[in-house]
Amino acid sequence: MSASISILVTGSPTQSQAHHSAIRFLNAAIKNGCKIDSVFFYQDAVLVANQFICLPDDETQLSQRWLSLSEQHGFELQVCVAAANRRGIINREEAQLNQKPHESVLKGFSVLGLGLLTASLSKPINRFIHFK
Amino acid sequence: MAATITTTVIIDSPPIGRINGKEGLDLALVCAAFDHQVNLIFVDDGVLHLLDNQDEQFFDDKMHDKQLKALEFYGIESIYAESESVSQFGLSPTTLIESVELINRNQINGLCQNSDHTVTFS
């Protein structure tokens, strides 16, 4: 039975290589027959889920890369709600609750609780990898 | 019934200027709520979270040391400080909050080896 992999990303998309490394690892793992169970974004990594990021065309569009991979391989992009709110990455519900003019989270990223990460850690079938 | 998962959380950031301690502690708490056996370990600058009698009036921000003193109620019984780090800061065990156990680097390594997962917040 092939490995099921659970990925945690905590590194900033601008101040670390965490996202690039995680994506390279993920692609290699899939190529080797592994299944990606989930990808969880915590700490500064949640910043990648900001729909207002405007990058020059010739730079890697990290957020879009995550979206394509998620769609292509059927895993959820899980963003910790507490870490996200703290950093201004908010969904519609949170925007309304806090009287903010607009949601900021990029569609395709799911904002949810830290419990989902713990749930991934609780599955004995998963190998867990942390990218900082 | 599934075996208990053991999760070790290591914090090496100071309580001021970095959110890593808080976010590491949040993960430890959620794991405890999911009935993991949690080892919470403070090393390097992280031991500064454990100073007793921190005075909030000198900082413009919330200190979460009260929460650290009550971790037992949240299911976290094992709180450790690295003895080498405590010495390095010239602290004695009496300057730290009560529920902390001092262990050395080798023992920490042992705890990690015996855990299902180790997550470090640095």
Residues of A in contact with B34 (CB under 8 A): 115, 118-119, 122
DSSP per position, B14-26? -SSS-SHHHHHHH
Cα B34 to Cα A24, A72, A74, A118, A122: the distances in Å are 31, 31, 26, 7, 8
Per residue in A90-103, pLDDT (tens digit) is 999 999 999 999 99
pTM: 0.95
Structural domain boundaries in chain B: 6-54+61-121
Per residue in B55-88, pLDDT (tens digit) is 777 777 777 667 888 899 999 999 999 999 999 9
Residues of B in contact with A124 (CB under 8 A): 2-3, 5
Task: Report pLDDT for A1.
Answer: 54
Which of the two residues, A115 and B1, has the higher pLDDT score? A115
The structure tokens 């419990």 sit at: A115
Per residue in A43-52, pLDDT (tens digit) is 999 999 999 9
**ipTM for the predicted complex:** 0.94
Per residue in A52-99, pLDDT (tens digit) is 999 999 999 999 999 999 999 999 999 999 999 999 999 999 999 999
Token pair, residue A30, equals 């899939």
* Domain B6-54+61-121: assigned CATH number: 3.40.1260.10
Q: Do A118 and B122 touch (CB under 8 A)?
A: no
Q: Do A82 and B26 touch (CB under 8 A)?
A: yes
Catalogue all structural domains in chain A, each as residue range(s) with its CATH number. Answer: 4-131 (3.40.1260.10)
